[in-house]
Amino acid sequence: MGKEKKKYGDLLLQFWPKLLIPFIALVLIVIHMFGSGYQIDAITLGLLIFATLPWIWGRIQNFELIGVAKVELREIKDKVEQAQSEIQSQQAELRAIRLLIGNLVTKPELQHLQNFKASAFLAENSGNFIPELRHLSLLGFIERQPDRGFRSLEGAFGQNRQVNVKDHFKIRKEGEEFYEQYKQILNELG
């Protein structure tokens, strides 16, 4: 029901100028001819042309004003439609990218990547911390320090409440690039 009303409304908006403008022009022609003794003059012809404009406007390919300006109406319309189509396509691609990136890493994992950029990355072992680091490692965003890794990190958590994670892992170039690109995309998408 709602779509039918919208189609009817769109159809009405599309055709009302094609009906209203000629009607007004014809009323003005009748008034002008009555006042001028039923003579056809330049004003009458101008009003007749004005009355037909809504019906022939879509068929006009170009318009040249005494050699001064030439407007290719069809080309402009086609370029605008092409640009609108490209914008819609790019918006769909951005939504897909946002969905993929949003599901690639979790918010805590993003926070871990940001923490690796600090001089020290002090952390407490929550239930998900080590699995989150394993995920970042599998993605290739972080790597072990020499002779260190998950076992040494788990051992350090067993001895201390807080551990400097950077003693055991470091962020890779790919992790830094991903984090920066992610921030940039979020800023662009709002």
Q: Does residue 94 form part of some domain?
A: no
Model confidence pLDDT, tens digit, residues 98-122: 777 777 888 899 899 999 988 889 8
Helix locations, the chain, DSSP H: 2-35, 42-56, 73-104, 107-116, 129-138, 150-159, 173-189
Q: Does residue 87 form part of some domain?
A: no
Q: Does residue 125 form part of some domain?
A: yes
Q: If you average pLDDT over residues 126-143, what whole number do you get? A: 92
pTM above 0.75, yes or no: no
Q: If you average pLDDT over residues 118-138, what whole number do you get? A: 90
User: What residues contact residue 135 under an 8 Å CB cut-off, 6+ apart?
Assistant: 105, 109
Do 122 and 44 belong to one domain?
A: no
Q: Does residue 140 form part of some domain?
A: yes
**What whole-number percentage of the chain has pLDDT above 90?**
30
Q: Does residue 81 form part of some domain?
A: no
Rounded Cα distance, 182 and 33, in Å: 70
Q: Does residue 88 form part of some domain?
A: no
5 pLDDT tier (thresholds 50, 70, 90): low
Q: If you average pLDDT over residues 153-157, what whole number do you get? A: 91
Checking if the pLDDT of 9 tops 70, the result is no
Give Cα separations from 45 to 34, 42, 61, 188 (angstroms): 15, 5, 22, 54
Q: Does residue 185 form part of some domain?
A: yes
> At which of 60, 75, 90 does a domain end?
75
Structural domain containing residue 144: 103-189
Largest interatomic CA distance in the chain: 109
Beta strand pairing call for 122-124 and 162-164: antiparallel
The pLDDT value recorded for residue 117 is: 87
Please give the tally of structural domains in the chain: 2
Checking if the pLDDT of 69 tops 60, the result is no
Do 113 and 183 belong to one domain?
A: yes
Q: Does residue 90 form part of some domain?
A: no
> At which of 32, 55, 75 does a domain end?
75
Do 110 and 62 belong to one domain?
A: no
Checking if the pLDDT of 138 tops 80, the result is yes
